[in-house]
Structure 1
């Protein structure tokens, strides 16, 4: 089942948030046509624009998007693949294998812990925030400064650069950029 979340904007205001099905229903209920030109929908994960087909009745939309969200991934043979485990080859020197073998839980568990720790310490990717801002904020004051601070991972300066943006745009951009959305 998909956990993707989306946000729909009309101008600088948020119209709806949630799964594709929820956003599509909300836009349909608000009376937007089958292909609303004045509404943009963004993936909360990637910052990319997403098109929604609002044609037909509410039950048509429910069938279209609810079925898509509930599709289960294709079943494969027995084993761990349903957990998302993929066997790949890793090339290490003997000293690396020796060190990994001495760690609690073995080599795989140690590598997973090291990768998770590195991912937790890494700043969020600026790409989703950049994609969103390029579509929605390119003409706003402070845009160019905001992009420089976004890619420099300078949170305080980024907050300052976007302080005059409309509230919904600023908060959504801050969320995508990994900033505290409450701090303007």
Structure 2
């Protein structure tokens, strides 16, 4: 993930969701389901990747929990450190604050310069705004691509033999949310709701609040 986030997990007993939250919460739910229901299909998925997480269920609850890896925030990707540009340990003097701007030559056609200079704030301000907007758009595309891959990992494991899988996969990577919704509508409710959450996390509630 591009943002700092504590990993979360979701577990299934067959097609029924039995736990969401920390790895410890999921491990206990899966272990207790295994002890009460026997060797049924029990799987735990990472909400950030959609991939299966292996948990060693041997021993007591305490012994199992002691073997789990420590949980904590994921590291930000390179280049996303939260350091304000232009800041340093030196005290600021009087006058206009430094913006950290760098002067470089930009070659444009006359019509481009005419348009830039006609914008509020002038050419420099407009160029900075355009660059920032492009950066935000790239981040949004990267997040959606990551969500697509996450959802596909999960659905390949849980829904690979279900009706509409191929069509749903094509709709997923085409970013056709409506067709994806249609093709997954007949899937078991918990599988359907979770894969929709993974594919479009910003448009759905937190996974822990999905209907059970």
The two structures share one fold, judged by TM-score above 0.5: yes
Bigger-Rg structure (1/2) = 2
Contact 1:7 1:16 in 2 (8 A): yes
Contact 1:5 1:20 in 2 (8 A): yes
**Stretches of structure 1 lacking an aligned partner (at least 5 in a row):** 74-80, 86-92, 97-101
The total of aligned residue pairs comes to: 159
Give 4+ residue runs of structure 1 displaced > 6 Å after superposition: 110-113
- In the superposition, the TM-score normalised over structure 2's length comes to 0.61
Contact 2:152 2:169 in 1 (8 A): yes
Using the alignment, how far apart are the partners of 2:30 and 2:194 within structure 1?
19
Using the alignment, how far apart are the partners of 1:41 and 1:140 within structure 2?
20
Post-superposition offset of 1:114: 5.4
1:95 to 84, 106, 109: 106
- In the superposition, the TM-score normalised over structure 1's length comes to 0.69
Contact 2:7 2:73 in 1 (8 A): no
SS of equivalent to 1:146: helix
Q: 1:120 to 1:29 in 2, by over 3 A?
A: same
CA RMSD across the alignment: 3.7
Spell out the pairing of 1:1-184 with structure 2 (5 A cutoff): 3-32=6-35, 38-65=41-68, 68-69=70-71, 94-95=105-106, 115-120=135-140, 124-125=144-145, 126-178=148-200, 180-181=203-204
**Stretches of structure 2 lacking an aligned partner (at least 5 in a row):** 84-103, 108-123, 206-212
Q: 1:113 to 1:68 in 2, by over 3 A?
A: farther
Q: 1:163 to 1:40 in 2, by over 3 A?
A: same
My pick for the range that moved more, 163-172 or 16-25, is 16-25
